[in-house]
Amino acid sequence: MTRYTELAERYGTPLYVYDLDRVAAARQDLLDALPEPFSLFSAVKANPHPEVLRVLAEGDGRTCRAEISSLGELAAALEAGFDPAGILYTGPGKTDGELHEALAAGVGLFSVESPTDLEHVGAAAVARGTEADCLLRINSASASAATSIRMTGRPSQFGIDAETLGEVLPRLRAVAGTRLVGAHFFPLSNASDEDSLVEEFRNTLSVAARLEREHGLPLRFVDIGGGFAAPYAVPGERPVYEKLRERLEEALDETFPRWREGSVRFACESGRYLVGDSGSLLTRVVNVKESRGRTFVILDAGINTFGGMSGLGRLLPVAVQPEGPEQAARIADGTGLSASLVGPLCTPGDVLGRQVDLPDVRVGDLLTIPNAGAYGPTASLLMFLGRPAPAEVLVRGGAVVSATRIEHRRVEVAPSGDRQPVGGGPA
């Protein structure tokens, strides 16, 4: 019996298994790949499980800061031990209530997407008798990498269009309750290779330096975004960027010659890279059926279990690995099939992969979706059709340290004036 089959027998399926040692290794690999003064933000949305976040927050030396975009993520980050003064609050739709609670909790930095977003932050800060440090998120007009998921250079709810900055900057400087301390960029996700990643960072640094030079954009802190690659729901190894530190230092020497003196502080951010290869999703075959010449393998895990990227059209196709000696023997026989992997939901959209190459699977077989540590249950249609959430088991040093399941229940909603702030304490 393999480790996964043992855990599936104990906790049932669908089941997520997260290896916290792999989370710690990914964090260390990425910190080692960045110049020593760089900060590293962990995107809480990638995996907000409290035990995963604790690993990312731990350490006496260089460690992660939290990047959040909701009060729920703020509560998770605080519970995990992140310093609120180091938290970056992002997102295009921050409400007045969220801003008041974030400021009350001590959040130290806000990324703002528009002049009105900055004004909302300023109004909340003035109401609390304080000032908020803010980064202007910049939607650059240019880009470098030709592949990967583009996050800039087009009309977007994210960021201030770079070509309009000179026009709007006087208005931004005048917003009471705010201090403009720098810029935030996020041009791409999942760069195809290290060269593409470096060229995108180099382009971002050039844009930041030009905006400072041409428009007087205050730059005490610059978040140059992410783009670190990691396999997602398919076999593969997370890359280790052996030359990134050296090449980033060269780019910084060219664009910000005094950066080594601390004239500007820099940061990167990552979600999937930090947590993706820590997780595996275990699922059992419920049924195998034929329909008009096509084979459908029906699993007990669907888009309600692993559906965040599927809903965005960014997951297909997953790959699965069989578990157990009987299945291994069938693989050795060389028998297999090409089939659609579908979940148990009553919707034709519950598809995890089409024309996926599989061994000769049978009802009851246990399959593993690898590299599934990011965008799992909390990025899925978790409540659809009322099915229970998958269990989540965390291991460290080979031992189970936690086994939980998210439960949903209806509660009475108090009038807004009676609601408790984050943490349940006084405002």
322 with 196, same domain? no
Q: Average per-residue pLDDT in the chain?
A: 89
Cis peptide before 170 (omega within 30 of 0): no
Structural domain contains residue 54: yes
279-291 and 294-299 strand pairing: antiparallel
Residue 75 sits in a domain whose CATH number is 3.20.20.10
255 with 111, same domain? yes
| pLDDT tens profile 249-259 | 999 999 999 99
Pick 187 or 266 by higher pLDDT.
266
220 with 108, same domain? yes
61 with 164, same domain? yes
Alpha-carbon distance of 383 to 379, in angstroms, equals 11
Alpha-carbon distance of 24 to 40, in angstroms, equals 14
- Considering 255, 270, 285, which residue would you say is the last residue of a domain? 270
What distances in angstroms separate CA 321 from CA 77, 237, 334, one per listed residue?
33, 15, 15
Residue 310 has pLDDT above 70, yes or no: no
Structural domain contains residue 26: no
Structural domain contains residue 422: no
Cis peptide before 317 (omega within 30 of 0): yes
201 with 282, same domain? no
Structural domain contains residue 238: yes
Q: How many residues does the chain have?
A: 427
155 with 80, same domain? yes
Q: Give residue 329's pLDDT band: very low, low, confident or very high (50, 70, 90).
A: low
How many domains are there within the chain?
2
DSSP, collapsed to helix, strand or coil, labels residue 14 as coil
307 with 229, same domain? no
- Considering 239, 270, 301, which residue would you say is the last residue of a domain? 270
Structural domain contains residue 412: no
- Average pLDDT estimate for 403-417: 88
Alpha-carbon distance of 246 to 201, in angstroms, equals 13
Alpha-carbon distance of 415 to 427, in angstroms, equals 16
175 with 231, same domain? yes
Q: Which of 97-111, 299-313, 330-344 has the highest mean pLDDT?
A: 97-111
CB 117 within 8 A of CB 137: no
Range of the domain at 41: 34-270
Provide the pLDDT for residue 311. 47
- Considering 228, 247, 270, which residue would you say is the last residue of a domain? 270
Residue 360 sits in a domain whose CATH number is 2.40.37.10
Lowest mean pLDDT among 190-194, 228-232, 311-315: 311-315
How many Cα atoms are found within 13 Å in the side-chain-facing hemisphere of 190? 11
